[in-house]
Structure 1
Amino acid sequence: MDAPLKVEIEEGIALLTMNRAESRNPLDPEMQDALLDTLSALDAGQEVRVAILTGAGTAFCAGGNVRRMGEAASGAKERTPAQARGYYRWGIQRLPRLIENLELPVIAAVNGPAMGAGCDLACMCDLRIAGESARFAESFVKLGIIPGDGGAWLLPRVVGFARAAEMALTGDTLSAQEALAAGLVSRVVPDAELIPAARALAARIAANPPQAVRMARRLLREAWNNRLDTVLEMSSAMQAVAHTTDDHKEALAAMREKRKPTYKGA
């Protein structure tokens, strides 16, 4: 069997493709581990400037593995409440924690249905663009469960509380255009143009000084959860670092000399 996650790196951009098309790319333990390991390595390595996350086949991510849920519900693999808590805490909940703390920007290129945990996975990313066939649903309630992966925290920050409540309490599915209107995605493009559009967006980010991009990404994430004075203090500390980088000097020189800058991440 092929690896659950296909990784292609070109010109500082990593294309990560969830590679379980036959089962609609479920966010099962194998996929979770692959995403955790790959994103951690890319973030630490710093050669990659932007990551794009998409799905193989006709789905972005179908969410959890319903077959395994059925086994658990039928008693075939029954867990105690304490075991179930640990299953989430040391399972899928590692993913939002990791992505929240990355410096590497991540773009979700949603190529088809993003259901339940798949919708939340898209919300974990910094930017989301969708193909015309994309669909989104916070569909946990349809299975008699709740978003155990952090969706109750993630979704309201993307679409606002009222729209998030509507999605979570009804479990209704949004089309790509409805997701655009809700602010869940920033752009909808024809399916055939999705990856080129994601690459073009990633290239616009990757063209900027890498350390400034990483610090700006961290600052935006921290600003979600902190007071203004805390964010201002962090901003001044990061700005002090940014002013000392070679890339800052190169940006100023290129502007003076009316030429294209060359950034090295130093």
Structure 2
Amino acid sequence: MKYDSYENLKITKDDNILTITINRPEVRNAINEGLHKEFGRIFIDVDADEDVDVVVLSGSGSAFCAGGDLKWLLDMHGNVAATAVGIKRDRKIQHSILDLEKPIIAKVDGPAVGLGCSLALYCDFVYATERSIFADPHVSIGLVAGDGGAVMWPQLIGYARARKYLLTGDAIGAIEAASIGLITEVVAEEELDEKVAKMAARLAAGATHSIKWTKAAINAGLRVTADAIIDQAAAFENVTQLLDDHRIALEAFQRKEKPKFTGR
């Protein structure tokens, strides 16, 4: 499998371990249309790569992923066709991660926000530095949490805690995230690379078919839940992408102001 066509994702392979690095450090790895398209196919390509048994997902620079690029979101606002395409791709991203039997390790150093947070939480292991934060602030920009947050947060930390974060958009620090089971472990910044490398090597040297199929068995129930949620959450998000409140929020954030929602 060749990965030469990827521009926003840096792909490297070491024996049977594949590392995917989100490579837009100048904008804290914010997701634009190009990166979104690449996430729509990368896990399908990895699934087809018979030489890969373990995946590591990381960000470049000072962030894991800062969420959606404001310019891209503004460009899409009110465009029914464009928003529908984006939402369809969101669903494809979620399903392709859940369908991937190869274990995925998220290496998080810095903010993991919005879709970036969902990408991390869909991984099987999430190791994060103390300075990392996790947030699904869709409601803060007038959107429904349709790209994975409504699926993963309740499954990982329960409905009461999930409501606290999804209905407010508040961020959670890595230490608290680990303490309530949202992520796997907090690791010292200078030890993060080694920690992830050791776990990746351990999985890669293990009984890979047993590991893959155990993951598939674990994910079987999650997939049933996800199938019940993803389409509805995505549809609601698509509608909110067309509302005034979403535009108001994006323009306010561009001006570094607090949005004044109208409920329309």
Match of 1:156? 154
C-alpha distance in 2 between matches for 1:83 and 1:4: 20
1:1-266 alignment, distance < 5 Å: 3-73=7-77, 78-80=78-80, 84-89=83-88, 91-225=89-223
Query: Are the aligned partners of 1:117 and 1:147 in contact in 2 as well (CA < 8 Å)?
Result: no
1:10 aligned partner, one-letter code: D
C-alpha distance in 1 between matches for 2:142 and 2:184: 30
SS at 1:170's partner residue?
coil
Larger Rg: 1
Match of 1:264? none
- Listed one character per residue, the Cα deviations across residues 101-143 of structure 1 (whole Å, up to 9, x for unaligned) are 1111111111110111111111111111101221111111111
Larger mean CA deviation between 186-195 and 106-115 belongs to: 186-195
For normalisation by structure 2, the TM-score amounts to: 0.77
1:69 aligned partner, one-letter code: L
C-alpha distance in 2 between matches for 1:205 and 1:212: 10
Deviation, structure 1 residue 70: 2.5
Deviation, structure 1 residue 39: 2.4
For normalisation by structure 1, the TM-score amounts to: 0.77
Structural RMSD (CA): 1.9
Deviation, structure 1 residue 83: 5.2
C-alpha distance in 2 between matches for 1:102 and 1:59: 25
C-alpha distance in 1 between matches for 2:83 and 2:44: 25
C-alpha distance in 1 between matches for 2:35 and 2:82: 21
Query: Are the aligned partners of 1:4 and 1:20 in contact in 2 as well (CA < 8 Å)?
Result: yes
**Unmatched 5+ stretches in structure 1:** 228-266
- Listed one character per residue, the Cα deviations across residues 69-110 of structure 1 (whole Å, up to 9, x for unaligned) are 22344xxxx313x65334301x22211010011111111111
C-alpha distance in 2 between matches for 1:107 and 1:39: 13
Match of 2:259? none
1:63 aligned partner, one-letter code: G
C-alpha distance in 2 between matches for 1:39 and 1:84: 22
C-alpha distance in 1 between matches for 2:13 and 2:210: 21
- Listed one character per residue, the Cα deviations across residues 125-168 of structure 1 (whole Å, up to 9, x for unaligned) are 11111012211111111111111213211221122111111110
Q: Relative contact order: is structure 1 or structure 2 higher (C-alpha 8 Å, sep ≥ 6)?
A: 2
Query: Are the aligned partners of 2:62 and 2:110 in contact in 1 as well (CA < 8 Å)?
Result: yes
SS at 2:20's partner residue?
strand
- Listed one character per residue, the Cα deviations across residues 29-59 of structure 1 (whole Å, up to 9, x for unaligned) are 3223323433222221221111010100001
Query: Are the aligned partners of 2:121 and 2:183 in contact in 1 as well (CA < 8 Å)?
Result: no
C-alpha distance in 2 between matches for 1:225 and 1:70: 32
- Listed one character per residue, the Cα deviations across residues 202-235 of structure 1 (whole Å, up to 9, x for unaligned) are 11211211211111111111033569xxxxxxxx
Q: How many aligned residue pairs are there?
A: 220
Larger mean CA deviation between 26-35 and 120-129 belongs to: 26-35
Deviation, structure 1 residue 189: 0.9
**Unmatched 5+ stretches in structure 2:** 1-5, 226-264
C-alpha distance in 1 between matches for 2:29 and 2:97: 19
